[in-house]
Chain A
């Protein structure tokens, strides 16, 4: 009996790994590309993360909204009298500041565990590392999204609605997202290798909260405010906050934000290209 020959699939994937010829750049770029193409997987994992974190909780991620609301109210009353600012003026500023800052600092702190948290998967299946990083970014994006309506509520209560220039906050948010990805990639790797870094990052973020104009307005610095654009947190925050409460951000802020974004991306990419092959041993 004649057995029909099995036709080998023409597109049999080939996996070549040569230590003498590592082709690190191609491998890193391929990782990024396939990782982004599989964003659905990252989104599903992020959704599960949030669901599991708030399992059994009545308000779920809205607890964060509630606690931010309480904080905005309390700090708003206190600091508007300390700084002698009218509360209807100060409260919208504070609401946007706190929300953006919370998002930023949560992303940075969570970035430290972007790869360590996926240890189980990393060691069992060859998946682009980009997927784990995207998962971290999506997770924080969705959590931040729960608090955004709070800004609108505060604006309505204080009776100050920004004009169309508020739409400029969208490119600001996009810059924030790009930086979040770069931070999650870079810090995820560094923290997998050096476990102390996460603690250092946490204390730096605590200090940065007071050094950055979150509670206070930059005007209070007087002459010294020319140095503020050196603070990347301030610059990134201002690209979102400026359009919402001050009718836009000056070009200096935008160019500084772009510059910092390019720097973080370059740093993350360089690190990823050089050390991608080691991640599985680090986690």
Chain B
């Protein structure tokens, strides 16, 4: 069964290119919280500090917290981008990520080529990618613009394309950032519908968001992060209202 098990996972970002000593001193003097010096005298930001949680099948988890609380870092860690420097992480199940809409997009390629590229990134075969291009083209409603380099797209068109490509999957674990709330209204309605289906099909949803409406509507559990630590973890009503 798909599950996520995190046992005291810790992520630290070394600040390599900040070099200057005066800056180092000032930073260390002022912020006792998250910047610290490690054994090798480097300045590190503690992005996530000893997080422990279990997420089982059927759970819909919202990550909330201020900017910089570590929501996106946690999503990326669950996706396997960052390896924790401490603790143990076990993720079972196929993972789908909606973290950055434009990841792996090539601005000089046409919409269609980008869809194929995205398919290749996911490890699909060429002909699967081409049929995916058809489906994505239909859903995004880009029409003739599908064969124009995406460099020329308007912001709205880029979002439509990214959204359509990114959501064409059926993962067991869906990791999502809140960028998907963009796009024009006509598209918005269809987007919501597709997202709802994607979320319903996934066994586990982890979503980072500021929108409490989304939390109440979709989620069963809330993890509130604050400066890289878990501040509260429990059912939606308990955390939001309690």
Contacts of B9 in A (CB 8 A): 19
A38-B83 contact in complex given A13-B94, A17-B89, A20-B88, C-beta closer than 8 Å:
no
Asked if residues B117 and A38 are in contact (CB atoms below 8 Å), the reply is no
Assess A281 versus B82: contact at CB under 8 Å? Given A12-B172, A40-B120.
yes
Q: Which of B45-99 contact A (CB under 8 A)?
A: 76, 79-95, 97, 99
In contact, A14 and B81 (Cβ under 8 angstroms):
no
The chain B residue sitting closest to A18, CB to CB, is B88
Contact A41/B84 with A124-B100, A125-B97, A282-B16 known, Cβ cut-off 8 Å:
no
Contact flags (1/0) for A28-46 with B, using CB distance below 8 Å? 0000000000101100110
- Complex: chain B residue closest to A121, CB-CB: B104
Taking the complex as formed, is B103 at the interface, i.e. its CB lies under 8 A from any CB of chain A?
yes
Is the beta-carbon distance between A281 and B86 smaller than 8 angstroms?
no
Contact residues in A for B172 (Cβ distance below 8 Å): 9, 12
CB of A280 within 8 A of chain B? yes
Whose C-beta in chain A lies nearest to the C-beta of B79? A126
**From A15, A40, A126, residue with most partner B Cβ within 10 Å:** A15
Chain B residues with CB below 8 A from A19, complex form: 9-10, 83-88
Task: Provide the main secondary structure of the chain A interface.
Answer: mixed
Give the number of chain B interface residues (Cβ < 8 Å).
Answer: 40
- A1-20 vs B, CB cutoff 8 Å, 1 = contact: the mask equals 00000001100111111111
Evaluate whether A12 and B92 lie within 8 angstroms (CB atoms) in the complex, with A122-B81, A125-B81 already known.
yes
Residues in chain B near residue A125, CB distance under 8 A: 79, 81, 97, 103-104, 121
Within 8 A of A (CB), among B1-44: 1-2, 9-10, 13-14, 16-17
Q: A8-B1, A12-B172, A16-B88 are in contact. Are A127 and B121 (CB under 8 A)?
A: yes
Number of A-B contacts (CB under 8 A): 96
* CB-contacts of A161-204 with B (<8 A): 193, 195
Chain B residues in 8 Å Cβ range of A122 = 81
Which residues from A are CB-within-8-Å of B90?
Answer: 14-17
- Contact segment of A47-55, A212-220, A227-235: A47-55
Which residue on A lies nearest to B114, using beta carbons?
A48
A48 B92 Cβ-Cβ under 8 A: no
Assess A124 versus B16: contact at CB under 8 Å? Given A40-B120, A48-B109, A55-B108.
Answer: no
Tell me if A120 counts as interface (CB < 8 A to partner B): yes
| Interchain nearest-CB distance for B94 vs A (Å) | 6
The docked-state distance in angstroms from the alpha carbon of A19 to that of B126 is 37
Residues of A within 8 A of B123 (CB): 38, 41
Bound CA–CA A15/B79 (angstroms): 9
Chain A, residue nearest B86 (CB): A19
Interface on B for A, CB 8 Å cutoff? Answer: 1-2, 9-10, 13-14, 16-17, 76, 79-95, 97, 99-100, 103-104, 106, 108-109, 117, 120-121, 123, 126, 172
The interface of chain A, by Cβ under 8 A from chain B, is 8-9, 12-20, 38, 40-41, 44-45, 48, 51-52, 55, 120-127, 193, 195, 277, 280-282
- Known A-B contacts: A13-B94, A20-B88. Give 9 more (CB < 8 A): A15-B92, A15-B95, A18-B89, A19-B84, A41-B120, A121-B103, A124-B99, A125-B81, A280-B81
What 4 A-B pairs have minimum CB-CB distances, sorted nearest first?
A: A124-B103, A126-B80, A277-B83, A18-B88
Chosen A-B contacts, 19 in total, with CB atoms closer than 8 Å, are: A8-B1, A13-B93, A13-B94, A13-B95, A17-B84, A19-B9, A19-B86, A19-B88, A44-B120, A52-B106, A120-B104, A124-B76, A124-B97, A125-B97, A125-B121, A126-B80, A126-B81, A280-B83, A282-B16
